[in-house]
Amino acid sequence: MLSTSSFEIDSEKKTPKYLQIVNAITESIKKGKLKKGDRIFSINELSNEYFLSRDTVQKAYDLLEEKGIIEPVKGKGFYISRTDITSSYRILLLFNKISNYKKQIYHSFAQAMGPDNTLDLKIYHSNTKLFETLLGTQFNEYDYYVIMPHFYEDVDEVKALINKIPKEKLLLLDKDIPDLKPGYSAVFQDFRKDIAEALETGLDLLKKYDRLILVHPKLIPYPYEIVLGFRSFCMQNSFAFDVMQEINPDTKIKSKEAYIVIEETDLVNLIKGCRSKNLKPGKDIGIISYNDTPLKEILLDGITVISTDHSQMGEIAAKLILENKKEKIKNPFKIIRRKSL
């Protein structure tokens, strides 16, 4: 029989109490805590435990009985009669920002979850205080909390906030956080290893350049692990290298340099600079852009990219929830060779 600790009946919650009972029982069935033939609480037991009226519990049990989920056995109580049910989820998604790549993740996640679930997407702009406000302190409003944890300040405070979320409800997306309490799911990139391994597979093309330059923006935050992975690759392969914060119209672009560019505004300025100096990408200068788009397939007859599969990331995250799996999965990351390198 299901223990009362499996129930979360909250008088402050907007969801009616009888539906909270229905949701608790159906969720326990979905997670395998209740199986066909298991006995559940009697109406009196549940009403006494939570100080609920018998009418409230009766209404919940009537609804479960109508759906064929439970059946009464005279003189014995109520039993689970079927477990082939689908239950909808309420999911809070907390993204650090909206971009084309984040949209890809969201849309693939939503499509894989299906239309019967409620998805609330909120943006915290990498701000810890806003994140705390959007997250709230009560964790019974949502079945899952899907978080992109891109924070660049107050990291310990962020860890403390995320550690308050029940681990069975937590899924980290795009980035993992070390030292969190175990038991949560994640679909993530390993930003340090990813760039180093991707550049390693393009080493044969990079060798024709004298210097590698990573353009890592300061005004728009990106994981610093990218810089660490880039430096590691360059030192291991004896490349001269630099890290700059932006490319603007005054940036001196030289022949025999290869640029790894994250922001598309820097990519545009780099291409303009090449044209002004008659430098041909893929011959005089190398260009690698972060994150693939259809435009990069055709721009300059093809821009070489290093990229994860954002759609796949969203699909895997949804699958973990739908199949109630607790796993940490590194999303694939690779170089796509085109003419700009």
Q: pLDDT tens digits for 255-269?
A: 999 999 999 999 999
300 contact partners, CB below 8 Å, separation of at least 6: 271, 281, 282, 287, 339, 340
Statement to judge: residues 197 and 293 lie in one domain: yes
Let me know whether 206 and 180 are in one domain: no
Split at pLDDT 50, 70, 90, the class of 290 is very high
Query: How far, in Å, CA of 294 to CA of 273, rounded?
Result: 23
**Residue 26 predicted with pLDDT over 80:** yes
**Predicted confidence band of residue 27 (pLDDT cuts 50, 70, 90):** confident
> What is the distance between the alpha carbons of residues 335 and 341, in angstroms, rounded to a whole number?
11
Residue 7: per-residue pLDDT:
66
* Any domain includes 15: yes
Phi, psi of 134 (to 5 degrees): -70, -35
CATH of the domain at 44: 1.10.10.10
Residue 10 pLDDT grade (very low, low, confident, very high; cuts 50, 70, 90): confident
* 341 Cβ neighbours under 8 A, 6+ residues apart: 202, 205, 206, 258, 281, 282, 286, 287, 288, 304
Query: Is the confidence at residue 187, as pLDDT, over 80?
Result: yes
The residue out of 80, 103, 127 marking a domain boundary is 80
Residue 194 has pLDDT above 60, yes or no: yes
- Find tokens 């969190």 and name the residue: 180
Same domain, 283 and 216: yes
Residue 241 lies in a domain: yes
Torsion of CA 218, 187, 163, 102, to 10 degrees: 40
Give the mean pLDDT of 24-42. 87
Q: pLDDT band for position 298 (50/70/90)?
A: very high
Q: Which of the listed residues 80, 107, 128 is the one where a domain comes to its end?
A: 80
Question: What was the pLDDT predicted at 16?
Answer: 80
* pLDDT of amino acid 86: 64
269 burial level (CB within 10 Å; 0-12, 13-18, 19+):
buried
Would 340 be classed as within a structural domain?
no
If asked whether residues 300 and 323 sit together in one domain, one would say no
Backbone angles phi and psi of 219, in degrees to 5: -70, -35
pLDDT at 175 over 60: yes
149 with 214, same domain: the answer is no
Q: Are residues 110 and 206 located together in one domain of the fold?
A: no
Mode of pairing for the β-strands spanning 240-244 and 257-261: unpaired
Amino acid letter, residue 70: I
Answer yes or no: do 39 and 141 share one domain: no
Q: Give the residue-averaged pLDDT of 314-318.
A: 96
Instruction: Establish if 24 belongs to a structural domain.
Output: yes
Whole-number pLDDT of residue 14: 64
Alpha-carbon gap, residue 79 to 77, rounded angstroms: 7
Cα 26 to Cα 285: distance, rounded to the nearest angstrom: 60
Domain of residue 121 covers 90-188+310-331
Domain match, 197 and 179 both? no
Q: What is the pTM of this model?
A: 0.75
pLDDT of residue 116: 79
Q: How many domains does the chain have?
A: 3
The answer as to whether 338 is a domain residue is no
**Would 149 be classed as within a structural domain?**
yes
Do 205 and 300 share a structural domain?
yes
pLDDT confidence of residue 12: 66
Together in a domain, 184 and 196: no
What integer is the mean pLDDT of 211-239?
A: 95
Percent of the chain residues topping a pLDDT of 90:
72
CATH number of residue 122's parent domain: 3.40.50.2300
Please tell me whether residues 302 and 315 are part of one structural domain: no
Q: Is the predicted pLDDT of residue 181 greater than 70, yes or no?
A: yes
Continuous H helices in the chain: 17-30, 43-50, 54-66, 100-113, 128-135, 155-163, 191-201, 203-206, 225-236, 264-276, 294-298, 310-322
The answer to whether residue 85 is domain-embedded is: no
Residue 130 binned pLDDT confidence (cut-offs 50, 70, 90): very high
The verdict on 39 and 122 lying in the same domain is: no
